[in-house]
């Protein structure tokens, strides 16, 4: 797994994501790095996910890239699921380590979405 302060060069993940849409994840990456000071990004090519933390703190967000959607796990209260669903997104909590640690998990974002505002808003919430 590669780790980089700021954003990784596209070459570090494009080969692993060949055949997957990348426009949305690229847009999200660019938006959060502008808003979160000290952001560190890592990428796991086998599971096709990006992880985010600030400096040497623990991870606070993950984006899993799938063909038709992104699945996002955020270190925010699970009660935010109702607000996110109110924005038109599905939240299907996953039984993983993050969920057991009380993260909001399983936020499904269609690759075709134009509703970017809530995504950036809740990502930033995870780093407060």
Total Cβ atoms within 10 A of residue 31 = 16
Q: How many domains does the chain have?
A: 1
Q: Which domain holds residue 84?
A: 2-126
Q: Which of 47, 44, 45, 50 is nearest to 27 (CA)?
A: 50
Instruction: Output the pLDDT for position 11.
Output: 85
Instruction: Read off the tokens for 94.
Output: 């996953």
Q: What CATH number is associated with residue 120?
A: 3.90.1150
Q: Which long-range contacts (CB under 8 A, 24 or more apart) does 55-64 make?
A: 60/126, 60/127, 61/123, 61/126, 61/127, 62/98, 63/25, 63/28
Q: pLDDT tens-digit profile of 17-30?
A: 999 999 999 999 99
Q: pLDDT tens-digit profile of 68-110?
A: 999 999 999 999 999 999 999 999 999 999 999 999 999 999 9
Q: pLDDT tens-digit profile of 103-126?
A: 999 999 999 999 999 999 999 999
């Amino acid at each position: 797994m590669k780790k980089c302060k700021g954003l990784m060069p596209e070459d570090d993940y494009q080969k692993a994501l060949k055949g997957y849409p990348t426009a949305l994840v690229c847009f999200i990456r660019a938006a959060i790095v502008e808003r979160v000071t000290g952001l560190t990004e890592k990428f796991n090519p086998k599971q096709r996910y990006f992880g985010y933390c600030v400096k040497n703190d623990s991870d606070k967000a993950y984006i899993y890239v799938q063909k038709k959607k992104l699945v996002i796990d955020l270190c925010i209260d699970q009660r935010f699921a109702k607000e996110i669903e109110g924005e038109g997104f599905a939240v299907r909590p996953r039984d993983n380590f993050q969920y057991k640690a009380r993260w909001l998990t399983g936020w499904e974002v269609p690759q075709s979405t134009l509703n970017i505002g809530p995504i950036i808003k809740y990502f930033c919430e995870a780093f407060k």
